[in-house]
Amino acid sequence: MAVRYWGAQYVGESGDTKPSAGSNTSGLEDGWLFIESDTDKIFVYDQSQTAWTDTVGGQIGSSVQAFDAGLTSIAGLSTAADKMIYTSGSDVYAVADLSSFARTILDDATASAVQTTLGLVLGTNVQAFDAQLADVAGLAVTNGNFIVGDGSNFVVESANTARTSLGVGTGDSPQFTGLTLTGDLTVSGTTTTINSTTLTVDDKNLELGSVASPSDTTADGGGITLKGASDKTIIWDNANDNWTSNQDLNIVTGKVFKVNNVSTLTATALGTAVVSSSLTSVGTLTGLTVSGNVTLGDALSDTITVTGTIQGATPLTFEGGTANGNETTLAITDPTTDRTITIPDETGTLGTQGFAISMSVALG
């Protein structure tokens, strides 16, 4: 295609005016170009129409892009999906990856929108800056340390210093509304006070007086004291080698006193294991069965009073001064009515029927 240029820079043509269309007197051919130097417009001659056409449609820099080195650099780039163009120098461009996720950040208009997209909303997703938290982050991480507020900042403490700050130091007297210990508890002191309505102990053995070297002497005076108008005590008496209570003991119905696991006393009777007694007197007995030897009185001044009936055909047997197997038995013939034998108020020997007959024979 032939190109001709009419204008100030073309020698042989007049002025800056393109040849008139509609005739071929100037030898115009189809496709020839004409650039007006005063407007920078580009025209193409259309021979079929015998007219110049403003094909490009405008002025360079207005309708047509003027040459630019940066645009030339961009034109030379190879692009693809999820890419972006950036400058790597003056009028020098390059391509970098730009993922769909990155584009969701780029289209956010504000910082708060970016935080929402990233899930980093302050106070909701992430912790907002706080000077005291920054101080905590700067504390030394040492085994056994506690973080404690000292009134103006946070510091680390350990051992009794930390316990004192928490109110449970060796010099404190903390109070708890509830406390559960899973390990051993050792209480050292002169007095331990428990203010509770009911003390429940799962252990079935309580040790008192558990000193380093326990003995009967260290146990002396130990026991249980119940406070009342006067103390109610069960105390170990080492001098007498026994427990001593200063109050009565009441055994409920159906229970007994035992010695060596043998019943010795019930509410109404001595146990069968009681075979001897040092009683000096008893009350009124409504019944008494005795087997074996019985000694009634041990002096002439002792008296035996019997107001009841002595039963039996031979209720009384007398041994005499010598225990030789020969006894005198007082036999009673079964009476058919009430009988009375009167012993006279005198000293002498009571005679029997056989004695009376012998005396009668002797006296003639």
Question: What is the pLDDT, as a whole number, of residue 91?
Answer: 93
Query: Residue 345 domain-assigned?
Result: no
107 & 86 share domain? yes
Which region among 64-73, 170-179, 180-189, 274-283 has the lowest average model confidence (pLDDT)? Answer: 274-283
Query: Residue 297 domain-assigned?
Result: no
Dihedral angle over CA of 294, 300, 301, 302, nearest 10? 10
Query: Residue 44 domain-assigned?
Result: yes
74 & 112 share domain? yes
2 & 60 share domain? yes
Question: What is the pLDDT, as a whole number, of residue 6?
Answer: 44
Backbone angles phi, psi at 262, to 5 degrees: -120, 130
7 & 45 share domain? yes
The residue segments making up the domain with residue 242 are 219-247
Q: Are 226 and 233 in contact (CB under 8 A)?
A: yes
- Residues 213-222: pLDDT tens digits? 999 999 999 9
Q: For residues 265 and 259, what is the distance between their CA atoms, to the nearest angstrom?
A: 9
- Residues 74-105: pLDDT tens digits? 999 998 999 999 999 999 999 999 999 999 99
Closest by CA position to 224, among listed 255, 200, 246, 204? 246
91 & 139 share domain? no
- Residues 149-168: pLDDT tens digits? 888 888 888 888 888 888 88
Q: Are 260 and 247 in contact (CB under 8 A)?
A: no
Which of 199, 227, 247 corresponds to the end of one domain? Answer: 247
Question: What is the pLDDT, as a whole number, of residue 57?
Answer: 54
CA Rg value for the chain:
68
Q: Are 52 and 43 in contact (CB under 8 A)?
A: yes
Which strand (E) or helix (H) includes residue 52? strand 51-53
Beta bridge partners of 329: 317
Provide mean pLDDT across the span 186-213.
87
Q: Work out the percent of the chain whose per-residue pLDDT is above 70.
A: 81
Closest by CA position to 38, among listed 54, 15, 21? 15
Question: What is the pLDDT, as a whole number, of residue 13?
Answer: 42
Confidence of residue 354 (pLDDT cuts 50, 70, 90): low
Q: Which two structure tokens, joined as six digits, stand for 187?
A: 């209480």
Which strand (E) or helix (H) includes residue 75? helix 69-75
Which region among 125-139, 219-233, 254-268 has the lowest average model confidence (pLDDT)? Answer: 125-139
Question: What is the pLDDT, as a whole number, of residue 244?
Answer: 96
Number of domains in the chain: 4
86 & 27 share domain? no
Confidence of residue 226 (pLDDT cuts 50, 70, 90): very high
10 & 43 share domain? yes
Query: Residue 33 domain-assigned?
Result: yes
Closest by CA position to 155, among listed 163, 165, 147? 147
Q: Which two structure tokens, joined as six digits, stand for 83?
A: 């890419």
The CA distances from residue 164 to 136, 189, 192, 261, in Å, are: 20, 19, 21, 55
Query: Residue 9 domain-assigned?
Result: yes
The pTM of the whole model exceeds 0.85: no
Q: Are 276 and 295 in contact (CB under 8 A)?
A: no
114 & 138 share domain? no
Number of residues assigned to the chain: 364
Beta bridge partners of 95: 85
Tell me whether residue 41 is exposed, middle or buried, using C-beta atoms within 10 angstroms of its C-beta: 0 to 12, 13 to 18, 19 or more: buried
Q: Count of alpha carbons within 13 Å of 347, Cβ hemisphere only?
A: 0
DSSP 268-311: S-B-TT------S-----S-----S-----SSTT------S---
Query: Residue 57 domain-assigned?
Result: yes
Q: Using the predicted structure, report yes or no on whether residue 45 has a pLDDT greater than 90.
A: no
Sheet containing 232-237: give its strands across.
Answer: 223-226, 232-237, 242-245
Q: Which two structure tokens, joined as six digits, stand for 100?
A: 């769909």
Provide mean pLDDT across the span 55-83.
77
Q: Using the predicted structure, report yes or no on whether residue 11 has a pLDDT greater than 60.
A: no
Confidence of residue 4 (pLDDT cuts 50, 70, 90): very low
Provide mean pLDDT across the span 326-332.
88
Provide mean pLDDT across the span 338-357.
79
Which of 65, 80, 106 corresponds to the end of one domain? Answer: 65
42 & 13 share domain? yes
Beta bridge partners of 330: 316
Question: What is the pLDDT, as a whole number, of residue 180?
Answer: 86
17 & 38 share domain? yes
Query: Residue 200 domain-assigned?
Result: no
In this predicted model, which residue has the larger pLDDT, 288 or 247? 247
Which strand (E) or helix (H) includes residue 237? strand 232-237
Provide mean pLDDT across the span 123-142.
86
Query: Residue 328 domain-assigned?
Result: no
